[in-house]
Amino acid sequence: MKDIKTYTEHGGNVYSDEGLLKGKNIIDFSSNINPLGVPKSFLNNIDEALESVIRYPDIEYKRLKKAIIEYHASETKLEEDNIVVGNGAAEIIDLSLSLFKNILISVPAFVEYEKTARKWGKNIEFSYLKEDMHYDYEDIIKKIDGADAVILGNPNNPNGNLIHKEKFYKILDKCERENKIVIIDEAFIEFTGNKSLSFVEDLKSYKSIFIIRALTKFFALPGIRLGYGISSNKEMIKNIKSIQNPWNVNCFAETAGVYVLKDKAYIEDTLKFMNSERKFFVESLKHIDFIKRVYNTEANYVLCSLSKIEASKLYKLCLDHSVAIRVCHNYRGLKGEFVRFAIKSRKDNLRLLEVLNIISENLRC
Amino acid sequence: MKDIKTYTEHGGNVYSDEGLLKGKNIIDFSSNINPLGVPKSFLNNIDEALESVIRYPDIEYKRLKKAIIEYHASETKLEEDNIVVGNGAAEIIDLSLSLFKNILISVPAFVEYEKTARKWGKNIEFSYLKEDMHYDYEDIIKKIDGADAVILGNPNNPNGNLIHKEKFYKILDKCERENKIVIIDEAFIEFTGNKSLSFVEDLKSYKSIFIIRALTKFFALPGIRLGYGISSNKEMIKNIKSIQNPWNVNCFAETAGVYVLKDKAYIEDTLKFMNSERKFFVESLKHIDFIKRVYNTEANYVLCSLSKIEASKLYKLCLDHSVAIRVCHNYRGLKGEFVRFAIKSRKDNLRLLEVLNIISENLRC
């Protein structure tokens, strides 16, 4: 078991000391990647990236920013200086959090928020999700008094719930008045298929919003490393750029961004698939005996609490069937036994359900 | 002229607001890239990178580190925790400098050293090269008393001179005794073709040395973004990693590193070419009328001081002939008019020399 360390920190870590666990044919439910796979619009234009290897990237990434501007054109009117591009969303999280002294983090959440804030020696306050895994808006508005910035996911990771916009505007209004920044990580928002659930359209009205996006999840490009931040707060964008390394996005990531963001067929196919598959997957999980609760999700992953079995034990049993799952032991604020499953292809999902049922039957014996 | 901003900060910036200056067919002497071009050993293995796009990179980059260990095996015995891989050498410069409060920078030097130190709010002291563009070892040893770390190039950019090892050991000994760090940027060292000129073999004896390497220049991969730092000071490596973003090197950069570092044919071809071409190019430049002095170089670029013409004027005249050169106005410590030329293919070099001769003749008219 020691050769997969998936449950130590992040999902998607399917490497051993000898490299990728190829021989094992692991189906990886720990990493929340679009099951439609790498968009052909990237692969078909790979020659363009290959031709660019010999040059430094455009240090201003004008072409990439143009693609981002067009991608969001129906939501808001962005200009180049509303955008900062990053070597994965990880870099954008890192640099945006670095700007503030006192940070409020809603938890459980993507573990990099806290890790990054600690790395920078920030003062950290936490707002815990309610028992139903929805945001505690009253708690956030109370605690934000002591913070310069708050970071939270829309939808949140690991559970997939969205920010309730109407309830959240009160928080935004307060932050707008008091010059606080609301960092909204929308790395998974496209899986909802509904642009009005994103806060991009609210950038027009709120200088306090800084939105993080990534191509990693929805466009299935985790190996590429491309994320970006957008805000109508040009001062904040400028401040991030001033501490950013030059040429931080490589030519392959740049090419990917330019082409996949306008790949309407891929986007539509994904939404069509995900909408129905999510329903099927969530309903099916509810029938697994040792799954206590399946949490509501608008994303491409499902958080489940367990009874009768420890998460680490389930992880090991699944791995015996060549299935990797995400044990949620390192999410602050998750009390009890939790696992997260990515929503993958129907075939893979059926295999997971089969494995879970086998484990369930064995538990009964 | 406004569409090329090459001489504002870095070389290699051949982009306008509309993207790459394709139509103009610019020969770019401002960017110091191996004229042999992208190694086939990378291009031939591109499928491996393409297959990896769908996965997160190995967060520990074990395979890439193994390739780096093997690459340096004849010089020193490295282990994984002697290595930190970066999104270009830029990231390694950034993170290594971030660790220290008081930094001594030898100048003129790669402008990112000072820019990075300023960004982090460091106390900066400068040691200026002597008039012949060699290091002022006496000055460095004097000024290092007030510093926690010193950074310098081997060879140095923009001039291409090497650190004189025998003279430098006195500095290293002092730093070793007093727990100071010597950051040696060897981004261009491979162009010398002589491993004993590098400080990698000295890592065995000195914990005070931190060496920065890049694949950008020698392996002609500026679009890829891959650099690394090596040191026998595992504590320093650990400290850098602790502030580094996860998955900072993308799968294309990883694949490039794995294959090109063992591409012996490419390495040999480059050295064979560069050895003879450097002599030819340097000698030819000496015959250009308005070039006052051609500085000694062991790298793949040549620094020249000018008389009778301003560097910015020469830049513009060259660009009229579709040739981009590096104006050195933003190198601290360069007094007077300086330009830097990359050593490119014989054909390109002949074209540059032709253009310089045309300009020279016109000046005489």
| pLDDT tens digits along B135-146 | 999 999 999 999
Which two structure tokens, joined as six digits, stand for B139? 């000055």
Q: Of the candidates A230, A218, A228, which has an alpha carbon nearest to the alpha carbon of residue A254? A: A228
- Asked whether B97 and A245 are in contact (CB, 8 A), the reply is no
HEC secondary structure over chain A: CCCCCHHHCCCCCCEECCEECCCCCCEECCCCCCCCCCCHHHHCCHHHHHHHCCCCCCCCCHHHHHHHHHHCCCCCCCCHHHEEEECCHHHHHHHHHHCCCEEEEEECCCHHHHHHHHHCCCEEEEEECCCCCCCCHHHHHHHHHHCCEEEEECCCCCCCCCCCHHHHHHHHHHHHHCCCEEEEECCCHHHHCCHHHCCHHHHHCCCCEEEEEECCCCCCCCCCCCEEEECCCHHHHHHHHHCCCCCCCCHHHHHHHHHHCCCHHHHHHHHHHHHHHHHHHHHHHCCCCCEEEECCCCCCEEEEEECCCCHHHHHHHHHHCCEECEECCCCCCCCCCEEEEECCCHHHHHHHHHHHHHHHHHHHC
User: Which residues of A are less than 8 Å from B60 in CB distance?
Assistant: 15
Does A1 fall in a domain? no
Q: Which of B1-10, B31-40, B263-272, B339-348 has the lowest mean pLDDT?
A: B1-10
Of A31, A42, A250, which is closest to B253 when you measure between CB atoms? A250
Last residue in a domain, options B211, B238, B262: B262
Residue B364: predicted pLDDT: 87
Whether residue A252 lies within 8 A of chain B, CB to CB, comes out as yes
- Asked whether A165 and A201 are in contact (CB, 8 A), the reply is no
Whether residue A301 lies within 8 A of chain B, CB to CB, comes out as no
Q: Do A245 and B12 touch (CB under 8 A)?
A: no
Q: What is the ipTM score, two decimals? A: 0.92
Whether residue B265 lies within 8 A of chain A, CB to CB, comes out as no
| Same structural domain, A164 and A214 | yes
Unique residue bearing structure tokens 């708690």: A139
Interface of A with B in 103-132 (CB under 8 A): 112, 119
| Same structural domain, A283 and A255 | no
| Same structural domain, A104 and A247 | yes
Whether residue B56 lies within 8 A of chain A, CB to CB, comes out as yes
- Tell me how many residue pairs between chain A and chain B have CB atoms under 8 A apart: 164
Task: Give B280 or B1, the one with higher predicted confidence.
Answer: B280
Whether residue A202 lies within 8 A of chain B, CB to CB, comes out as no
| Same structural domain, A25 and A58 | no
| Same structural domain, A348 and A253 | no
Does B174 fall in a domain? yes
Does B25 fall in a domain? yes
User: Which residues of B are less than 8 Å from A87 in CB distance?
Assistant: 87, 225, 245, 248, 250
Whether residue B251 lies within 8 A of chain A, CB to CB, comes out as yes
Whether residue B46 lies within 8 A of chain A, CB to CB, comes out as yes
Residue B218: predicted pLDDT: 98
CA distances from B32 to A350, B183, B247, B347 (A): 54, 21, 27, 16
**Minimum distance, in Å, between the CA of residue A141 and any CA atom of chain B:** 30
Last residue in a domain, options A262, A292, A326: A262
Tell me the residue range of the domain where B209 lies.
40-262
From the number of C-beta atoms within 10 Å of its C-beta (0-12, 13-18, 19+), residue A80 rates as middle
Residue A18: predicted pLDDT: 59
Whether residue A81 lies within 8 A of chain B, CB to CB, comes out as no
Interface test with B, best of A21, A50, A55, A122 (most B CBs within 10 A): A55
Of A49, A91, A224, which is closest to B245 when you measure between CB atoms? A91
Q: Tell me the CATH number at A279.
A: 3.90.1150.10
Interface test with B, best of A54, A116, A215, A260 (most B CBs within 10 A): A54
Interface of B with A in 132-171 (CB under 8 A): none
Does A154 fall in a domain? yes
User: Which residues of B are less than 8 Å from A49 in CB distance?
Assistant: 223, 252
Does A355 fall in a domain? yes
How far is B75 from B196, CA to CA, in rounded Å?
A: 8
- pTM given for the model: 0.94
Whether residue A63 lies within 8 A of chain B, CB to CB, comes out as yes
Beta bridge partners of A28: A324
Of B15, B46, B55, which is closest to A12 when you measure between CB atoms? B55
Residue A16: predicted pLDDT: 63
Q: Tell me the CATH number at A45.
A: 3.40.640.10
Whether residue B2 lies within 8 A of chain A, CB to CB, comes out as no
From the number of C-beta atoms within 10 Å of its C-beta (0-12, 13-18, 19+), residue A269 rates as middle
Q: Do B10 and A59 touch (CB under 8 A)?
A: yes
B312-337 confidence digits (pLDDT tens): 999 999 999 999 999 999 999 998 89
| Same structural domain, A103 and A211 | yes
Residue A6: predicted pLDDT: 43
| Same structural domain, A95 and A233 | yes
Whether residue B332 lies within 8 A of chain A, CB to CB, comes out as no
User: Which residues of A are less than 8 Å from B20 in CB distance?
Assistant: 55, 58
Q: Do B225 and A243 touch (CB under 8 A)?
A: no
Q: Please compute, for residue B270, the number of CA atoms within 13 A of its CA located in the half-sphere on the CB side.
A: 27
Whether residue B65 lies within 8 A of chain A, CB to CB, comes out as no
Which one-letter amino acid corresponds to residue B57? P
Number of domains in chain B: 2
| Same structural domain, B59 and B83 | yes
**Minimal Cα distance from A222: which residue of B?**
B56
Q: Do B54 and A220 touch (CB under 8 A)?
A: yes
Residue B207: predicted pLDDT: 98
B98-139 confidence digits (pLDDT tens): 999 999 999 999 999 999 999 999 999 999 999 999 999 999
pLDDT in tens, chain A (365 residues): 333 444 446 777 777 665 666 556 899 999 999 999 999 999 999 999 999 999 999 999 999 999 999 999 999 999 999 999 999 999 999 999 999 999 999 999 999 999 999 999 999 999 999 999 999 999 999 999 999 999 999 999 999 999 999 999 999 999 999 999 999 999 999 999 999 999 999 999 999 999 999 999 999 999 999 999 999 999 999 999 999 999 999 999 999 999 999 999 999 999 999 999 999 999 999 999 999 999 999 999 999 999 999 999 999 999 999 999 999 999 999 988 999 999 999 999 999 999 999 999 999 88
| Same structural domain, B123 and B171 | yes
- Asked whether A159 and A133 are in contact (CB, 8 A), the reply is yes
Does A115 fall in a domain? yes
Please, what's the b/e burial string for B259-297 (b: 16 or more CB within 10 A of its CB; e: otherwise)?
bbbebeebbeebbebbeebbeebbebbeebebbebbbbb
| Same structural domain, B242 and B337 | no
Interface of A with B in 213-242 (CB under 8 A): 220-225, 242
User: Which residues of B are less than 8 Å from A223 in CB distance?
Assistant: 49, 52-57, 250-252
**Minimum distance, in Å, between the CA of residue A243 and any CA atom of chain B:** 6
Of B14, B54, B249, which is closest to A55 when you measure between CB atoms? B14
Residue B12: predicted pLDDT: 73
Which two structure tokens, joined as six digits, stand for B217? 């220049």
How far is A282 from A284, CA to CA, in rounded Å?
A: 5
| Same structural domain, A166 and A224 | yes
Kindly give the pairing relationship between strand B209-214 and strand B181-185.
parallel
- Asked whether B64 and B85 are in contact (CB, 8 A), the reply is yes
Whether residue B79 lies within 8 A of chain A, CB to CB, comes out as no
Q: Do A13 and B56 touch (CB under 8 A)?
A: yes
Residue A5: predicted pLDDT: 46
User: Which residues of A are less than 8 Å from B91 in CB distance?
Assistant: 245, 248
Does B1 fall in a domain? no
**Minimal Cα distance from A50: which residue of B?**
B43
Q: Do B46 and A46 touch (CB under 8 A)?
A: yes
Residues in chain A: 365
How far is B102 from B156, CA to CA, in rounded Å?
A: 21
Averaged over B234-251, what is the pLDDT?
97
How far is B89 from B186, CA to CA, in rounded Å?
A: 10
Residue B96: predicted pLDDT: 98
Q: Is pLDDT above 60 for B230?
A: yes
Last residue in a domain, options B239, B262, B285: B262
- Asked whether B350 and B308 are in contact (CB, 8 A), the reply is no
| Same structural domain, B140 and B161 | yes
Does B267 fall in a domain? no
- Asked whether A313 and A319 are in contact (CB, 8 A), the reply is no
Q: Of the candidates A311, A28, A85, which has an alpha carbon nearest to the alpha carbon of residue B56? A: A28
From the number of C-beta atoms within 10 Å of its C-beta (0-12, 13-18, 19+), residue B44 rates as exposed
Whether residue B243 lies within 8 A of chain A, CB to CB, comes out as yes
Q: Is pLDDT above 70 for B1?
A: no
Averaged over B16-25, what is the pLDDT?
62
Angle CA B109–B113–B117, to nearest 5: 145
- Asked whether B46 and A53 are in contact (CB, 8 A), the reply is no
User: Which residues of A are less than 8 Å from B348 in CB distance?
Assistant: none
3-state helix, strand, coil in chain B (%, to 5): 40, 15, 40
Beta bridge partners of B303: B340
Of B13, B37, B245, which is closest to A56 when you measure between CB atoms? B13
